[in-house]
Amino acid sequence: MTFTLRPTTPADIPTLHRLMRDFAAYEKLEHRFRITEAGLHDALFGTKPALESVLAEVETTPIGFALWYMTFGTFSGRWGLFVEDIYIEPAHRGSGIGLALFRHMARIAIERECIDMQWNVLDWNTPAINFYRRIGAQRVRGWIPQQLSGQALTELAEGAGNG
């Protein structure tokens, strides 16, 4: 299968938004999908872009994407590349597109002298976990992801949470 990778453009926002919604459905997280096309445009192309993105295409039809942003290590003093999401439509999986997307981001990480490239994966997503092991990724041990959201986030911001 022949495919190409190309940078996402402002004209691609509706397509990227649709692919992101499809990804949320795949991950069984549709209830958390809240981003609007305007919000996505601002995140990628606003005055302070927070994200970078590339689309994967087969015969000029977008069938996947990768989104990433830069992180900073306070101990290393170096940048890292954090893969926020990668998605390929089910009909096109297993054709090398995922590998090409990760290679693309790895090249960016090397060009920018990043110390690493990191991402999260849902514990039930065995096909993705197996793919990550095949490309040399290792589980990050010793860290337990934490999240503060909703009412708890609001309460902490308003002064609650005595710790």
Asked if pLDDT for residue 161 goes beyond 70, the answer is: no
> Residues for the chain: how many in total?
163
- CATH code for position 100: 3.40.630.30
Is 17 among the domain residues? yes
CA distance 95 to 93: 6
Q: Which of helix, strand or coil describes residue 82?
A: strand
Model confidence pLDDT, tens digit, residues 86-128: 999 999 999 999 999 999 999 999 999 999 999 999 999 999 9
Task: Provide the residue type at 39 as one letter.
Answer: G
Is 93 among the domain residues? yes
**Distance (Å) of CA 96 to CA 101, 108, 126:** 9, 19, 18
CA distance 41 to 45: 6
Is 163 among the domain residues? no
Determine the pLDDT at residue 145: 87
Q: Which domain holds residue 60?
A: 4-157
Determine the pLDDT at residue 41: 98
- Domain count for the chain, please give it: 1
Asked if pLDDT for residue 163 goes beyond 70, the answer is: no
First to last CA, the chain: 55
Does 44 or 148 have the greater pLDDT score?
44
Is 79 among the domain residues? yes
**Does the pTM of the predicted model rise above 0.85?**
yes
Asked if pLDDT for residue 64 goes beyond 90, the answer is: yes
Is 162 among the domain residues? no
Q: Which of helix, strand or coil describes residue 96?
A: coil
